[in-house]
Structure 1
Amino acid sequence: MAPRFPAGAARVSPRPLHGAVLSLIVGCLTLAVAGCFHSAAKPVPPDSAAAQQIAAYAEQQAALRRDASLPQEELQEHCDQLATTTPGVEELRITHGSIESRQWTLIANASAPRWAFVRAKDGPPDGWTPKPGIAKLDFQPPLESALTARSSLFLAYAPVESYSPEDSQKSATARELFGAAQGDFTWRGRKYSYTLTSELPCFPLLQ
């Protein structure tokens, strides 16, 4: 079972395009219930070389998508695949030295998909939830160095080793639309690759 960020997540719409969208938060909160989350995120100076490198990479991925480097037909095919097999997507930020996150997913909205954040039951209206134990997932390179360089970034992730056709499709979609893997993390002995970007691809945000 893949990790998830938000706990008790309730989808924004009763008509989700992909009912099994993965996210790191549920896994993290499961550990929290077991008393496994003890360490808070350690901020990294915003002028560090790592922060600048990772933030620059995220901007590069967004710029490549804005340049529409893929032929329109191929891009549309990838976007259709994204709507049916969505990799895990989280928005991350650092607030008062601690990492917060909120899950994003695609929902059906009239005839066109829309990106929408997932609000946990009884959670805050804006969906942001503190995740002090995220360091337990052993992100390499660490996330803090990138997050201190800007207000927030989107993180897309998928399994490194595919155990099913769905795993393979999620990995391909993440690579084709979010960019090449920038790092990895480990959950229950299984490794996931991740990419940071400043924008979500293909579809507009739900207003």
Structure 2
Amino acid sequence: MTKEYFQKLWNLNYPETVPISHLFKQDYLDRWFRIHSLPESKRYADNEDDWKILLSRQNEIITDLFGFDTPILFVTGKYNWGTKRTIHITDEKDIFKSFSFTRLDSIELFKFDSEQYDEPDIYRPAFTMTVWKTNYHDNILREIATDKIRGFFVSFDKNIIVAPYDGGIDFMIKDSLTKEYYKNKYRQWLSEREDGL
């Protein structure tokens, strides 16, 4: 897949946002929900029992949404705070060595949040094609769960974004009816907060 085709599909499916996962909730609140990866909303796994629960929950719900052996894309990126670094996160991390990434155009963060970002700040996204298989991406899920990397999985065919973070997973589902179905199915893993965070 070329970067031009990715951008075309992105604009068709998610015209109100850019491929930066923390923006999805504010841009598509009606299609968003979140689960927590550990009981009692514990944020980080600190023993092997926690890791078993975290990976089991994440693999179960992601497989339920994507299905088995589903072609998907993994999107990650690198923040550059006014610098001109040429090394990209996909070149730095060993877990990405088996994937072939395509770089997307840099995103000028100042245009999306002028209070948080300065004009030179950019985000340099990249994507790779892969297949969702249960436990196949556990190394990536672990790195995200410890906040060492950030990234998300997307299926344009199913119109679903799965965005793990250090504490749980954010989902953008194709419509509000389907979202409510999955929220109810996995209600024991939802936050007790009114805002769903």
TM-score bin (small chain)? under 0.3
Q: TM-score, normalised by structure 2?
A: 0.27
TM (norm. structure 1) is: 0.26
Structure having the larger proportion of residues in helix:
2
